[in-house]
Structure 1
């Protein structure tokens, strides 16, 4: 008869296992939108299309002074006036807005193909400018606008609003305050249904996901890794079996840095089981945030102390739009460049253009070599 053996005992936890089971109070980090304490300039808005409802809702909540609303279609501006800023003046000619000496800051929200001349005119008129994203379709045009802003001693910022989505913002602050050490991995993924664009101008954008949507991912990574230069990009896009829209609804991009691997993954035709996740892997700690969409995220911070789970306040919409304008206003008041300045934004845009070119050609592309949106 064979001798019975006792079942193997469970291995004792290692010190590494033990500290990952401990919890600690999440550090308080300045991830919420910020405003200058004693500066509320008069703001003019050029372009009153769909997305501006988010801009104006955020500005109203922040008690900003939006004084002029401009749109070539007067009814668009009147609609925004009635809903958000009844005291604002309505004009259809942007020159009339720019001629007003009391307007210090201009938010330009038009489509990118018509935006550069408006930015140029605003800078020439001595206004500080917040440009809607994506900033430009041509990197050389973008650089000329950056140079013009410098020459005019004006600030030019880009409305990369995802930076102030609570989970992105807390993750960024955790890294920048040294809690994660050196980053060696940044991985963003999103599975959602973007087919709502049917019947809108967005369905005509061939690379809608990599260009118009993933620009948030490219910008977030560029801002995190501002001290590193992206070396190469490889991207792919795939049309789903039953899609009727022009743009491919699945896309991935891999970005290689000297010491950091980055992946972006998007599945934009996912009606069920929608999920968004963000992972920052560092030498001293990591951040993992996940949830069914960007408005509902559970974030955990992992360090040698254990696990912390901050209770995040706010929401990407409208906080992202508040944060983008608030950062510009803080920079004006403090006499510095905003962190969302246009010069810094060009690197993320160059990575985006490289990814689109890679998806078109199947080639590995060096950011900066592709100067225009393919």
Structure 2
């Protein structure tokens, strides 16, 4: 039966939590992003019992702010030796993360890895295979999937209300110069890699079952730019019967804007706002137009959504929608885009096995 406008009223786009599964959770890595993880986990009622960071003060600060009864460690092996802990959230930077994930899986823990997952697709594949061997779940924190507008958009597209989707165009115009003086400023392709990985992942949600044929991307600097990474980036993604464009202007000091437009054979979806925290969305078909009143925000609902999805998948013994095996396809698209920007030529996703720079 074809989807109708009424279908859109009750789309379950809000983060889910397990019905009864309440495992003890250990967190490895208490850097800047952990605030948003723990804020979301407190709201959801997730049971974090251990916090670990090489910098003891950072771990203690997270403990005091969010989980005062949690144990604090500087050695992640101590977290993994705790047999009561079933799930670990690993939020360290990508270069040091794979050995920690491997150790966690060998210890029999389910893992939620921060994004971007790995710097090498083959390393990621080996971790996926290890997780399967250990009968453990390995998921990636693609929290953008639970930003209210993205979550609603992907579920609307999946409902069939838009028909066969053939285009997805997304643009972001914002100020990302806050990275000055941080570790993020050292990432050459900061925009296409660390930031756009969310958009490469979301694009794939609109074209399930389709593999991108090739991607062409480029980057540039804005006038008077002093930051090392280019602040302008764009990508054109080709599918067999669809296309997608991504545009990023990361040096906009005033008048920020973010838009998403998805079109199909039966309708279209448009979301717009001053940023990804505030979006107004509408769906238009032959039946009319529907504009939901979206609840929540990307930060911190996105982080509640990822951990919630992992825990629900474990409880229901079903595949996890943010599995590492699925995420390798998003990374392949991202790596191809970066390689394209470096070479000035289109690249085939999957042909670039390692982060180009």
Shift of 1:224: 2.6
1:293 aligns with 2:261: no
1:82 is aligned, of 64, 86, 99, to 64
Shift of 1:26: 5.0
For 2:31 and 2:133, the matched residues in 1 are separated by: 31
Corresponding residue number in structure 1 for 2:140: 158
Shift of 1:177: 1.1
2:229 is aligned, of 244, 247, 255, to 247
For 1:259 and 1:67, the matched residues in 2 are separated by: 48
1:64 is aligned, of 35, 39, 46, to 46
Please provide the CA RMSD for this pair: 1.0
For 2:37 and 2:296, the matched residues in 1 are separated by: 15
Name the TM-score, length of structure 2 as normaliser: 0.97
Summarize the Cα distance change of 1:183–1:25 in structure 2 as closer, same or farther, 3 Å threshold.
closer
1:215 aligns with 2:197: yes
Q: Secondary structure of 1:114's partner? A: helix
Q: Secondary structure of 2:94's partner? A: coil
Deviation sequence 1:318-361 (CA, Å, 0-9, x none)? 10000000000000001112100000000110000000000001
1:181 is aligned, of 160, 163, 166, to 163
Dislocated runs of 4+, deviation >6 Å: none
For 2:265 and 2:116, the matched residues in 1 are separated by: 32
Corresponding residue number in structure 2 for 1:131: 113
Corresponding residue number in structure 2 for 1:9: none
How many residues are treated as equivalent by the alignment?
352
For 1:26 and 1:230, the matched residues in 2 are separated by: 28
Contact (CA 8 Å) 1:24, 1:306: kept in 2 or not? Answer: no
For 1:80 and 1:223, the matched residues in 2 are separated by: 33
Corresponding residue number in structure 1 for 2:245: 263
Contact (CA 8 Å) 2:258, 2:274: kept in 1 or not? Answer: yes
2:172 is aligned, of 182, 190, 212, to 190
Contact (CA 8 Å) 2:52, 2:59: kept in 1 or not? Answer: yes
Corresponding residue number in structure 2 for 1:46: 28
Shift of 1:25: 9.4
Corresponding residue number in structure 2 for 1:224: 206
For 2:40 and 2:6, the matched residues in 1 are separated by: 33
Deviation sequence 1:283-329 (CA, Å, 0-9, x none)? 11111000001111110011111111100000000100000000000
1:202 aligns with 2:184: yes
For 1:157 and 1:25, the matched residues in 2 are separated by: 29
Contact (CA 8 Å) 1:24, 1:307: kept in 2 or not? Answer: no
Deviation sequence 1:77-113 (CA, Å, 0-9, x none)? 0000000000100011111100011000000000000
Deviation sequence 1:260-300 (CA, Å, 0-9, x none)? 10000000000112100011101111110000011111100
1:343 is aligned, of 312, 315, 325, to 325
Name the TM-score, length of structure 1 as normaliser: 0.93
For 1:24 and 1:288, the matched residues in 2 are separated by: 18
Pick the structure with greater CA Rg: 1
- 5+ residue gaps, structure 1, are 1-22
Shift of 1:226: 2.8
Contact (CA 8 Å) 2:41, 2:304: kept in 1 or not? Answer: yes
Corresponding residue number in structure 2 for 1:311: 293
Corresponding residue number in structure 2 for 1:107: 89
Q: Secondary structure of 2:111's partner? A: strand
Deviation sequence 1:173-204 (CA, Å, 0-9, x none)? 10111111111100110000000000100001
Corresponding residue number in structure 2 for 1:4: none
- 5+ residue gaps, structure 2, are none
